[in-house]
A and B are shown apart, each in its own frame.
Chain A
Amino acid sequence: MKYEVIVGLEVHVELLTQTKLFCDCPNAFTVKPNQHICEVCLGFPGALPQLNAKAVELALKASLALNCQITRYSWFDRKNYFYPDIPKGYQISQYYKPLGSQGFMEIKNDKGESKYIGIARIHLEEDAGKLVHSQSGKYSLVDYNRAGVPLIEIVSEPELNSPAEARQYLENLKSILQYSRVSDCKMEEGSLRCDANISLRHHGSVEFGEKVELKNMNSFKAVEKALTFEVKRQSKVIDKGEKISAQTRRWEEDKEKTVAMRGKLESHDYRCFVDNELAPIHLIEEDISKAKKELPEMAADRLKKYLNEFCLPAYDAEVLTSSVDISDFFEATLDYYYSPKKVSNWIMSEFLMHLNAEGKNPWETGLTPGHLGELVKLVEEGSISGKIGKEVLEKSYGTGESPKKIVEQEGMTQISDEEQLTKIIEQVIKDNPGPAEDYINGKKKALGFLVGEVMKKTSGKANPQIVNKLLRESLE
């Protein structure tokens, strides 16, 4: 690369709270406009905001998870601007004292080496409503369902040096926030939004180049593509000896290119000042240590543990840690039956297949970690066959019944008793003289047919290894 690429990201995520930031309206997605509204989130004259403590807790968790300094005494400011989607004519945000600052996140650079990206600030703020423009362009409608939904804005330092690094930063950020249960980070539903700032400069240069702001990227892939496009576009401009103009550009997904939105970067004076309708946020040591305690082990650490301690293949470790729910489920199952690879196999094949088919979360089905542990144990101890195991899993998944009970109730226990099996085998050989003759004459394949017949007679409960052994013995 001829030029050094400098990227900084501004990410907004919606917090996983039950209610909005300053009122009791549900923080939930709905299609019908203006359902989740009240006097507070509509900014009615005389109504006052009431801070949602849960939102502060989540913002604090996010700040801690991203290694930020925590501002013990912070407050909310009013950011003033006119637009119909903000009901009060100002947005309540934290301008002067962000809750978190000077954090960092580890990523791997293009050479696979560790690299730390600075987090400049994390602050709490309320979301705006949505404008719906009419087809004719004659009018616009406003939907305030989203107005007042709690957000945190996470601003990185301009320390990302390639589109790939930017994408990795976003992937890691998403994983950390999902693990901390701060946000579901669904970019397609708008619970994670990302704007990017990008500039180029000659290697070794100290000064930054002119900054271009990129908007309207709807996936991490789109962020990477838009940045890649910009690197090429800006390189060409500089190659020609021309200057990059500071501007805001819009990513057009279908055309795979960025187009200029506004001539200049917006330079609003938001006239921010403290909002004294709200009390300041005063965090004490206890709040911080409690939040710290509640933070789980993050994906990166779990991945290392799965590889080194559990000796799982890389693929298993990656799939299991891709979601905090699956990872938690996996680890909880190990408490019941400690055999990482076996448990992993059952999750990766059977369980995930059912979950993906139904779009369910692992904690939403009848199968608990205790059940799964029990099931794996039954199979490993030879009480049931793998094949029966799959049936049991499906039943437990649907009914919530314990595998042991299912096996008992339905008489699915595997028959391993040689005496019992020998009797059945003798009968099968008697009934099928042809195939038995074939096997003795060297047609080894005929054994499979006979095993199948034994399985049929035992409704699949015969232990296949023992049946194989006994059949061979009695025919040879």
Chain B
Amino acid sequence: MDQWKMGIVEAKEMIKQKKIKPSEMIKSFLARQKETEFLNSFISTFEEESLEEAKNLEKIDEDINQYALAGVPISLKDDHCWKHGKTTVGVKALRNFYPSFLSASAELFDQEGAIVIGKNNMDPWSMNSTTKSSFWGVTLNPWDNSRIAGEGGAASVSAGAAPLALSSDTGGETRLSASYCGLLGLRPTSGRVSRYGIIGFSPSFLQTGLLGRRAEDLSLALEIISGFDIRDALTKVNSTETEEIIPPDEHLIAAVPWEITDQLDSASNNLFQRTVETFTDMGIKVEEVDMPHFNLGLLAYYVISSAEASSTLSRYDGIRFGEAYFTDSLEEWYQQTRSITFGEEARRRIVMGAFCLNEHNYEKYYEKALQVWSLIKEDFYSALKGRHFLLLPTSPTVAPKIKDNNHFIEDYKQNCFCAPVSLAGLPSLSVPSSFSNHLPWGIQLVGRPFSESFLLSLAYKAGKEV
């Protein structure tokens, strides 16, 4: 079995046609998980539990077809609360946290018979897309082990240790990881998928995310996890596909804000231009658009999300969650506990966030950032007026070297094309576009609200073209 390239649709078909038993399917992925252990892409693995679930499915035999993904393995980012193992969110404070409820989207997979084989590495609370600050150490890129992979989930799928990873995307983690590892990475429209049970730091921007090899895999996965959830006040009752009729390729219009590409290095700039040409070759008309506030997006994102971090992370005080480091005074107890268990990046964000919210700075930073937020939304909506999608780079460079970028600002800058899209709340699909020195690099297809199917079909066609 050539599981390296296997996606969930193929895996599902093989099981349905009885070419392979669920337990054999799981075993083969578990074996690959072992082989690629050196990548450090998993925080927890569920060998026994997943085999048991596979065997239970085999017992019901024929009835197995009532499930969309019976016996299909998936991996889960460690910020999704799950029934097996701990949910650490990559942070020391939660290294022994066993949640009492489940991530809504992971549960929907579970209900369709999918089997979670492990939980993927991540930066604390998804604050970065490098895993360099993870309590569990860095994940290596399967394409080049001296480079970062982004999230553990991307390394797992890329290395064939899982056919699909359920992830999350705040400022671009899913999309950047997809770009670094040559995968498709989808951030759905805000409100399309429930975020209940995902542990994040910035509610304004947190969304679920999907990492996979093929458009049809993401289509099926998205269909499973989409929909209203009473437990997430921001999911939309009507979150299904827009009824808008999409014209054939020759009548499609893509928007490209050329001005922003000056943030790319020359190699990536060339790649981006070549990619745009591919779309022109498909018969798609490309129009240049002006997005004057796009470059402010990164700053607004860091101000607002850090402000939220300073508040969201307050609960990890060692009383109910997190590890307590007792002292005689309550104040010192808070300080000590949080200093020891948060990690440098989280502490930096808290300080930045609290600074921006301080009564003397609120207007200067936080309120300004809110204004930028609405201007960026306007930029995106006017760019998509009369045009069907937007073409953007995903990352300014290919996957950075693990030893590179030691200044945190360099890590932040990797989000410069992703964070503005998070602010806009629009669906975005990162698609592998080309290679630079044998390393993958991706572009983003950004669509109107709830146009994920269109973006995925576009990626499917472009994939055939490239």
Closest to A144 in B: B320
Residues B39-65 near A (CB distance < 8 A):
none
Residues of A within 8 A of B99 (CB): 44-46
Residues of A within 8 A of B231 (CB): 48, 50
Residues of B within 8 A of A84 (CB): 317, 319, 330
B234 near A45: Cβ-Cβ < 8 Å:
no
Residues B85-135 near A (CB distance < 8 A):
87, 89, 94, 97, 99-101, 103
The smallest beta-carbon distance between A295 and chain B, in angstroms, is: 28
B103 near A271: Cβ-Cβ < 8 Å:
no
Residues of B within 8 A of A43 (CB): 315, 320
Residues of B within 8 A of A50 (CB): 230-231, 233
Q: Does B67 contact A (CB under 8 A)?
A: no
CA distance A17 to B196 in the complex (A): 24
Residues of B within 8 A of A46 (CB): 79, 81, 87, 99, 101, 103, 196-199
A276 near B203: Cβ-Cβ < 8 Å:
yes
Q: Does A87 contact B (CB under 8 A)?
A: yes
A273 near B366: Cβ-Cβ < 8 Å:
yes
The smallest beta-carbon distance between B348 and chain A, in angstroms, is: 17
Q: Mark B418-444, 1 if CB is under 8 A from A, else 0.
A: 000000000000000000000000000
Q: Which of A44, A88, A276 contacts B204 (CB 8 A)?
A: A276
Interface size, B (range): 35 or more
A271 near B311: Cβ-Cβ < 8 Å:
yes
B319 near A142: Cβ-Cβ < 8 Å:
yes
B317 near A89: Cβ-Cβ < 8 Å:
yes
The smallest beta-carbon distance between A40 and chain B, in angstroms, is: 8
The smallest beta-carbon distance between B110 and chain A, in angstroms, is: 16
The smallest beta-carbon distance between A156 and chain B, in angstroms, is: 24
Known contacts A43-B315, A276-B308, A48 near B358 by CB under 8 Å: no
Residues B184-239 near A (CB distance < 8 A):
195-199, 203-204, 230-234
A39 near B315: Cβ-Cβ < 8 Å:
no
B310 near A271: Cβ-Cβ < 8 Å:
yes
Q: Does A439 contact B (CB under 8 A)?
A: no
Q: Does B398 contact A (CB under 8 A)?
A: no
Residues of A within 8 A of B195 (CB): 48
Q: Does A278 contact B (CB under 8 A)?
A: yes
The smallest beta-carbon distance between A285 and chain B, in angstroms, is: 22
Q: Which of B100, B320, B366 contacts A87 (CB 8 A)?
A: B320
Known contacts A39-B101, A48-B233, A50-B230, A88 near B314 by CB under 8 Å: yes
A89 near B314: Cβ-Cβ < 8 Å:
yes
CA distance A48 to B314 in the complex (A): 15
Residues A36-68 near B (CB distance < 8 A):
39, 42-51
Q: Does B359 contact A (CB under 8 A)?
A: yes
Residues of A within 8 A of B100 (CB): 39, 44
Q: Does B307 contact A (CB under 8 A)?
A: yes
CA distance A80 to B100 in the complex (A): 26
A45 near B199: Cβ-Cβ < 8 Å:
yes
Residues B317-334 near A (CB distance < 8 A):
317, 319-321, 330-331, 334
The smallest beta-carbon distance between B385 and chain A, in angstroms, is: 25
Q: Which of B203, B321, B354, B357 contacts A277 (CB 8 A)?
A: B203
A80 near B314: Cβ-Cβ < 8 Å:
yes
Which residues on A are within 8 Å of B, measured CB to CB? Answer: 39, 42-51, 78, 80, 82, 84, 87-90, 142, 269, 271-273, 275-279
Nearest 7 CB-CB pairs, A to B? Answer: A89-B314, A271-B357, A45-B199, A276-B204, A277-B203, A46-B199, A279-B233
- 18 intermolecular pairs with C-beta atoms under 8 Å apart: A42-B320, A44-B99, A45-B81, A46-B103, A46-B196, A82-B317, A84-B317, A88-B314, A89-B311, A89-B314, A90-B311, A269-B358, A271-B358, A273-B366, A276-B203, A276-B204, A277-B234, A279-B234
